[in-house]
């Protein structure tokens, strides 16, 4: 019981940041003397520190502030993207202590090469910072079995049947948690981003691939065998473009990076920087933006209507490329989804917002799934 309370308290500090003992007592429904015992124990172990807060306006002795100590537990976070790999060491409390990333644009990227590079870079980074990660989380843009980190298919990486979890853990000798990138994005937004406090939310991100993660009744939704769904392969345009997945007219073929390039009149292989430049330019002319991206916006809207009608979230968080769409394109979409979705109307109007965590969202999600298995051992 005491162990359980300790883990709960630590999770709260980790996710919500520094807090007074009084606030911790209220949030956990425990009495002050229990909180004192727990905090004293954690302080003795160097997991938290207590500090006098900056003097406020209130009368009386200020309550001590309890701060999680980042170095008390460090995890490795890995974000495998199609053209980019990022790693970070993340401390208790969610702070990124150090990071490293490299570009894969145009280079080969076999699973072997990427795995070797991740292991070497992680060792260098840990050495530089003088820390030892106690678990690792890995974000993969593909179909992943959560139980053992087996990557079934990551088509945009051209990976098939890679025992990623097993391979990393055999070298790193720490627990490895591998997740689908959109699922981890949803986890991060739920704990630290735009979906904080929302028990039913969907995170949709469009990059080269399109994916989605679902938070249902406060936790991450998974299907059979621990696989998460693939929102990007919802058929939205029957008879549309062939998709590598074996189907055609998938949402990914209509709102992924290549589709956005087509909508903008750019070649499909345009580098990300040039796409962002074009979108920024276009934002200066709202009417032109709305008209040039009208069809793109319609496919985005249709898919969102389906996501809302199937899952009934209160909130949809848009990530990656969807966050840089011009306002004149994004704005009408929420109203249109509400108009066309009877479930949105029922839940009082599903809100549609942009990601609050930017490019780090999947890295932070990867860190969080690693912390899940770490906090009760700190």
Of 63, 309, 331, 354, the one binding a copy of itself (CB under 8 A) is 309
| CB-CB neighbours of 60 under 10 Å | 5
Among 29, 55, 106, 223, binds a copy of itself (CB under 8 A): 223
Handedness of CA 11, 17, 22, 27 (dihedral sign): negative
The answer to the question of residue 1 lying near a copy of itself (CB under 8 A) is no
Question: With contact defined as beta carbons under 8 Å apart, do 184 and 365 qualify?
Answer: yes
Does 190 help bind a copy of itself (rule: CB under 8 A)? no
- Distance between CA 96 and CA 364 in Å, rounded? 9
| Of 20, 37, 101, 314, the one binding a copy of itself by CB under 8 A | 314
Q: Are strands 351-354 and 210-216 parallel, antiparallel or unpaired?
A: unpaired
Kind and range of the H or E run holding 121: helix 111-129
Instruction: Tell me: does residue 129 bind a copy of itself (CB under 8 A).
Output: no
Half-sphere CA count of 103, side-chain side, radius 13 A: 4
Q: Which one among 347, 356, 359, 373 touches a copy of itself, defined by CB under 8 A?
A: 347
Choices 24-32, 42-50, 163-171, 297-305 (CB under 8 A): range interacting with a copy of itself: 297-305
Which element (helix H / strand E) includes 330? helix 327-340
Binder among 19, 69, 81, 306 for a copy of itself (CB under 8 A): 306
The reply on whether position 12 binds a copy of itself by CB under 8 A is: no
**Secondary structure letter of residue 70 according to DSSP:** G
Is 216 a residue that touches a copy of itself (CB under 8 A)?
Answer: yes
End-to-end CA distance of the chain: 16
Query: Degrees (nearest 5) of the Cα angle 165, 167, 172?
Result: 90
- Residues 145-164 binding a copy of itself (CB under 8 A) are 145, 152-153, 155
Interface residue with a copy of itself among 64, 340, 356, 372 (CB under 8 A) is 340
What residues make contact with a copy of itself under the rule CB under 8 A? 143, 145, 152-153, 155, 199-200, 212, 216-217, 221-225, 227-231, 233-238, 245-247, 298, 302, 305-307, 309-315, 339-343, 345-348, 350
């Amino acid at each position: 019981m005491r162990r359980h309370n300790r883990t709960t308290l630590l999770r709260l500090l980790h996710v919500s940041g520094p807090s007074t003992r009084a606030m911790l007592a209220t949030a956990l429904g425990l009495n002050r003397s229990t909180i004192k015992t727990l905090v004293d124990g954690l302080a003795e172990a160097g997991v938290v520190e207590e500090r006098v807060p900056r003097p406020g306006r209130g009368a009386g002795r200020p309550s001590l502030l309890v701060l999680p100590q980042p170095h008390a537990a460090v995890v490795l976070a890995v974000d495998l993207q199609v053209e980019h790999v990022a790693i970070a060491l993340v401390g208790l409390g969610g702070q990124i202590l150090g990071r490293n990333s490299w570009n894969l644009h145009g280079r080969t990227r076999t699973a072997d090469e990427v795995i070797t590079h991740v292991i070497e870079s992680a060792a260098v980074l840990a050495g530089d910072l003088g820390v030892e990660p106690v678990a690792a989380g890995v974000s993969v843009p593909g179909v992943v079995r959560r139980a053992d980190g087996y990557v079934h298919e990551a088509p945009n990486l051209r990976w098939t049947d890679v025992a990623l979890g097993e391979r990393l853990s055999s070298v790193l000798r720490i627990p490895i948690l591998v997740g689908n990138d959109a699922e981890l994005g949803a986890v991060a937004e739920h704990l630290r981003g735009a979906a904080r406090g929302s028990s039913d939310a969907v995170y949709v991100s469009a990059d080269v691939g399109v994916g989605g993660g679902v938070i249902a009744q406060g936790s991450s939704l998974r299907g059979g065998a621990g696989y998460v769904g693939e929102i990007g392969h919802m058929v939205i345009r029957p008879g549309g473009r062939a998709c590598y997945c074996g189907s055609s007219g998938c949402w990914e073929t209509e709102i992924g990076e290549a589709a956005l390039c087509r909508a903008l009149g750019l070649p499909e292989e345009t580098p990300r920087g040039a796409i962002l430049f074009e979108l920024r330019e276009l934002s200066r002319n709202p009417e032109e933006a709305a008209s040039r991206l009208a069809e793109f916006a319609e496919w985005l809207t249709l898919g969102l209507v389906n996501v809302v009608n199937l899952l009934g979230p209160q909130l949809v968080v848009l990530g990656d490329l969807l966050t840089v769409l011009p306002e004149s394109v994004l704005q009408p979409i929420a109203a249109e989804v509400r108009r066309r979705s009877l479930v949105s109307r029922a839940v009082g109007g599903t809100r549609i917002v942009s990601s609050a965590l930017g490019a780090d969202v999947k890295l932070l999600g990867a860190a969080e799934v690693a912390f899940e298995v770490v906090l009760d051992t700190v």
